[in-house]
């Protein structure tokens, strides 16, 4: 560790922010991501079976799997999740209100497969390990 102090400009800005804090609007809080999963969170494989519902602005959410797969209104998964990847037609077919996004994610959660393994495989593996350690 070093005993270096932050630069003077940083300390000045921090002091200014502190001085002005009473005059700025109250901070808002917004949930921006939900996780939907049939595999319990204490299962070592849970994270790879999860589906995420992510807020993408303007009251619309994307349903995401495996980092870069995005669910469409037709129930198919497509690569590319960023707005700049696609045009308005694609975005309109892959962005939903929260209620719809959560419903679609719940419908898809039991269907997730990972490297040839189903949700049931992940659950059975946990039960087998628990029985063996029993």
74-123 confidence digits (pLDDT tens) = 999 998 766 666 788 989 999 999 999 999 999 999 999 999 999 999 99
Spatial separation of the C-alpha atoms in residues 99 and 108, rounded to whole Å: 14
Average the pLDDT over 57-70 and give the result: 93
What percent of the chain clears pLDDT 70, i.e. is strictly above it? 88
CB 105 within 8 A of CB 51: yes
Half-sphere exposure (CA, 13 Å, Cβ side) for 127? 7
CB 33 within 8 A of CB 53: yes
Q: Is the pTM of this model over 0.85?
A: no
pLDDT at 56: 93
Confidence band for 132, pLDDT divided at 50, 70 and 90: low
């Amino acid at each position: 560790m070093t005993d270096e102090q932050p630069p003077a400009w940083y300390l000045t800005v921090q002091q200014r922010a502190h001085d002005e804090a009473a005059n700025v609007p109250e901070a808002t809080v917004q949930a921006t991501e939900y996780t939907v999963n049939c595999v319990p969170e204490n299962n070592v494989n849970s994270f790879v079976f999860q589906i995420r519902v992510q807020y993408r602005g303007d009251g619309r959410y994307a349903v995401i799997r495996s980092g870069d797969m995005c669910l469409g209104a037709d129930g198919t998964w497509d690569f590319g999740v960023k707005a700049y990847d696609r045009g308005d037609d694609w975005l309109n077919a892959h962005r939903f209100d929260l209620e719809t996004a959560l419903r679609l994610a719940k419908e898809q959660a039991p269907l997730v497969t990972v490297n040839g393994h189903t949700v049931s495989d992940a659950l059975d593996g946990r039960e087998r390990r628990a029985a063996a350690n029993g």
